[in-house]
């Protein structure tokens, strides 16, 4: 009897939602609703993480995100298919952020080529992860990001018999350091310290790495191996592989 009643109530609720008698969007923030498109401002969380991974598999939705959220930050590039595993498909050139009247922009040492998923992951990381790490640990803002490139048609570690690197399809960016609004430079490997070290730049770099794991599928840093001692590898493949 009780079970029948619960079933009837659930069916009634389902019909009401489907017919827009109850509009969930009015009561629940869009970032909690799995069917609402991901927005740059949506705070990180389980649902936004899931939406981000969905975007990586849907080129049209990914492109729509960039067109809608940051048209001034990207130039769409023509597709460059290839049969050697170094496709450039649905990719953009990612530009510095000019900032707004109330907000500091983030400048790159150089614009870079990014697959659409890399561009979206970077923007989410810049907006949520990098910003809060800088505010919480350094009490400042990041104004410059130094990187050593995203696109390179090569295998992992340049080895002949390895599989293609995420860089072969512009799915990863290698970041080497940051400059803050107060002029401080923080860079790898110089400022990387042991996890229990109280040194602020070291804590900042660890906070940056942790935050990157919310937006990128693969995050590799100095603790991973010698090949990454001087940069963070921020890639879109995989699911929260952070080392």
Which positions touch Zn ion (CB under 5 A)?
172, 174, 233
Q: Do residues 128 and 215 lie in contact, with contact meaning Cβ atoms separated by under 8 Å?
A: yes
- State the nearest-atom distance from the C-beta of 233 to Zn ion, in Å: 3
Nearest to Zn ion of 170, 172 (CB atom): 172
- State the nearest-atom distance from the C-beta of 174 to Zn ion, in Å: 4
Nearest to Zn ion of 35, 157 (CB atom): 157
- State the nearest-atom distance from the C-beta of 165 to Zn ion, in Å: 7
Q: Do residues 112 and 119 lie in contact, with contact meaning Cβ atoms separated by under 8 Å?
A: no
E strands, 25-108, in order? 74-76, 91-94, 107-108
Nearest to Zn ion of 55, 172 (CB atom): 172
- Which residues are CB-contacts of 7 (< 8 A; sequence separation ≥ 6)? none
Nearest to Zn ion of 42, 174 (CB atom): 174
- State the nearest-atom distance from the C-beta of 150 to Zn ion, in Å: 8
Nearest to Zn ion of 65, 151 (CB atom): 151
Residue-wise DSSP of 134-169: IIIIISS-EEEEEE--S----BGGG-TTSPBPGGGG
Q: Do residues 109 and 175 lie in contact, with contact meaning Cβ atoms separated by under 8 Å?
A: no
Show the tokens assigned to 225.
């191996």
Query: Which residue's CB atom is positioned nearest to Zn ion?
Result: 233
- State the nearest-atom distance from the C-beta of 218 to Zn ion, in Å: 9
Question: Measured between alpha carbons, how far is 210 from 242 in angstroms, rounded to an integer?
Answer: 8
């Amino acid at each position: 009897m009780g079970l029948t009643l619960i079933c009837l109530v659930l069916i009634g609720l389902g019909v009401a939602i489907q017919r827009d008698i109850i509009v969930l969007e009015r009561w629940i923030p869009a970032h909690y609703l799995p069917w609402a498109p991901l927005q740059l401002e949506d705070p990180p969380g389980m649902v936004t993480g899931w939406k981000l991974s969905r975007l990586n598999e849907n080129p049209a939705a990914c492109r729509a995100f960039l067109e809608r959220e940051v048209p001034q930050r990207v130039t769409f590039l023509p597709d460059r298919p290839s049969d050697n595993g170094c496709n450039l498909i649905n990719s953009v050139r990612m530009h510095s952020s000019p900032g707004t009247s109330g907000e500091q922009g983030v400048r790159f040492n150089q614009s870079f080529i990014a697959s659409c998923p890399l561009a979206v992951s970077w923007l989410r990381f810049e907006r949520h992860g990098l910003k809060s790490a800088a505010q919480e640990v350094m009490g400042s803002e990041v104004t410059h990001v130094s990187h050593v490139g995203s696109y390179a048609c090569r295998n992992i570690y340049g080895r002949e018999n390895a599989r293609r690197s995420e860089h072969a399809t512009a799915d990863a960016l290698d970041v080497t350091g940051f400059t803050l609004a107060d002029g401080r430079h923080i860079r790898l490997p110089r400022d990387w310290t042991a996890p229990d070290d109280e040194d602020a730049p070291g804590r900042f770099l660890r906070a940056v790495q942790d935050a990157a794991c919310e937006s990128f599928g693969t995050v590799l840093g100095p603790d991973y191996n010698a090949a990454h001692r001087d940069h963070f590898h921020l890639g879109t493949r995989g699911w929260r592989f952070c080392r």
